[in-house]
């Protein structure tokens, strides 16, 4: 038998946990030196029966360790996260590092958990950072100096430069708005890119389409 309730919970030893709580009088919300409760441990290792027992015994589903992490922050699978949410876990809680459980899951690469929690809370899924998006599209917005040097094409290049500057300004405005309020504006960006392709002409549009697809597949 484990020598404390937290090890027993980590091991999924339901009988041992019951003895600690029901016979030895250990609080269901007792925390170890690191602030971990039995519910933290059970959630971390995905022990459903044990989680259910602890919840039935009145375990605080939103109990926090010193860093502000509740048991929801250690869930590695969606089914465990769902159990805690149904029991009242606060999916919008922010820890001491100013992260939600969804953001923590993303950092830990628990992708399905992160997706579930973002869908649950209505928080937009993370898109490419504004800077990354600007970098990815920058090659579509840079003027062709070699064409500018060609006297025969000078007027055409001037018009092309003006068009690109207009598209650049529109894209930057969309990205700044997204950075300011966090609203997903992918459709607006896609519309601008479509206009760029149409304005570029058939040959250039085909080349730009290939570049955009290559960027999307990275």
Indicate whether 144 pLDDT > 50.
no
- The per-residue pLDDT of the chain, averaged, comes to 80
| Stronger pLDDT, 60 or 176, i.e. the higher one | 60
| Residues 109, 10 share a domain | yes
Kindly report the backbone phi and psi dihedral angles of residue 197, in degrees, each rounded to the nearest multiple of 5, phi listed first: -65, -40
| Residues 115, 12 share a domain | yes
> What pLDDT is attached to residue 77?
96
| Residues 138, 116 share a domain | no
* Cβ atoms of residues 158 and 133 within 8 Å: no
Residue with tokens 């459709």: 187
Band (pLDDT 50/70/90 cuts) for residue 166 is: confident
> What pLDDT is attached to residue 61?
98
Q: What total number of domains does the chain contain? A: 2
* Domain around 145: 130-216
Say which DSSP state 74 is in: G
| Residues 62, 42 share a domain | yes
| Residues 176, 85 share a domain | no
| Residues 149, 78 share a domain | no
Question: What distance in Å separates the CA atoms of residue 103 and residue 91, rounded to the nearest whole number?
Answer: 11
User: What is the rounded average pLDDT of the residues 55-72?
Assistant: 98
| Residues 92, 52 share a domain | yes
Kindly report the backbone phi and psi dihedral angles of residue 124, in degrees, each rounded to the nearest multiple of 5, phi listed first: -55, 145
| Residues 117, 135 share a domain | no
Q: What is the pTM of this model?
A: 0.58
């Amino acid at each position: 038998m484990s020598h404390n309730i937290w090890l027993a919970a980590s091991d999924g030893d339901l009988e041992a946990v019951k003895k600690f709580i029901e016979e030895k009088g250990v609080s269901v919300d007792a925390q170890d030196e690191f602030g971990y409760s039995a519910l933290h441990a059970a959630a971390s290792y995905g022990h459903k029966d044990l989680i259910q027992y602890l919840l039935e015994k009145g375990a605080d589903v939103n109990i926090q360790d010193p860093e502000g992490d509740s048991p929801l922050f250690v869930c590695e699978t969606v089914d465990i996260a769902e159990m805690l949410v149904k029991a009242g876990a606060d999916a919008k809680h922010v820890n001491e590092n100013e992260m939600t459980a969804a953001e923590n899951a993303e950092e830990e690469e628990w992708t399905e958990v992160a997706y579930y929690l973002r869908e649950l809370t209505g928080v937009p899924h993370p898109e490419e950072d504004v800077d990354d998006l600007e970098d990815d599209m920058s090659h579509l917005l840079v003027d062709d100096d070699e064409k500018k040097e060609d006297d025969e094409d000078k007027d055409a290049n001037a018009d092309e430069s003006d068009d690109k500057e207009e598209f650049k300004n529109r894209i930057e405005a969309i990205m700044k708005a997204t950075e300011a309020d966090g609203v997903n504006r992918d459709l607006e960006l896609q519309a601008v890119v479509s206009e760029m392709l149409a304005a570029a002409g058939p040959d250039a549009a085909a080349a730009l389409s290939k570049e955009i697809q290559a960027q999307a597949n990275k």
